[in-house]
């Protein structure tokens, strides 16, 4: 009975400390061994650092907007056409879409942090290019072997 009362008091103390801001989620995770692996933490840091420098223009029409991390060991890189909807993209870039895809892959491979932490950590990099109206134009995966 004393053990049960002690556990309830401990749980309430942890709850109160977390509510007051004295105990953070990382501290609780470290106590119970729930912290993410070091590779996941590195990819999260790369995502935060990359997103802090975005958006940036790849060319006159395409913007690199953000990076997200999927729970399935996948990093998603979001590119978009700034001023072109799906119909305008197809009219202007239908023939040159493979060259655009190569340029985006070169942009991904050119980022040292992505090569060092994403590809070396075994993550897949998914590249999504959308039109201004949020319709997907291309969706491809980039692996380390595609980077030269």
Flag whether pLDDT at 30 surpasses 70.
no
Scanning the structure block, which residue is given the tokens 């309430």? 12
pLDDT of the residue at 131: 93
Q: How many structural domains does the chain have?
A: 2
Q: What is the mean pLDDT of residues 63-84?
A: 86
**Where is pLDDT greater, at 133 or 70?**
133
Residues 11 and 77 in one domain: no
Residues 70 and 25 in one domain: no
Residues 20 and 44 in one domain: no
Q: Can you give the CATH number for the domain in which 57 is found?
A: 3.30.300.250
Scanning the structure block, which residue is given the tokens 């802090």? 52
Give the range of the structural domain holding residue 28, as residue numbers without chain letter: 2-32
Residues 67 and 94 in one domain: yes
**Overall residue count recorded for the chain in this entry:** 148
Flag whether pLDDT at 136 surpasses 80.
yes
pTM of this prediction exceeds 0.75: no
């Amino acid at each position: 009975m004393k053990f049960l009362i002690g556990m309830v008091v401990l749980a309430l103390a942890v709850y109160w400390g977390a509510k007051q801001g004295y105990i953070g989620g990382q501290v609780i995770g470290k106590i119970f061994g729930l912290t993410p692996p070091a590779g996941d933490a590195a990819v999260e840091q790369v995502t935060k650092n990359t997103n802090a420098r975005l958006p940036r223009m790849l060319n006159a029409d395409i913007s690199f907007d953000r990076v997200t991390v999927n729970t399935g060991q996948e990093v998603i890189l979001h590119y978009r056409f700034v001023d072109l909807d799906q119909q305008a993209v197809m009219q202007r870039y239908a023939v040159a879409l493979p060259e655009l895809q190569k340029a985006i892959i070169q942009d991904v491979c050119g980022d040292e942090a992505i090569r060092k932490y994403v590809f070396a950590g075994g993550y897949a990099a998914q590249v999504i290019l959308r039109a201004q109206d949020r319709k997907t134009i291309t969706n491809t995966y980039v692996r380390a072997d595609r980077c030269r």
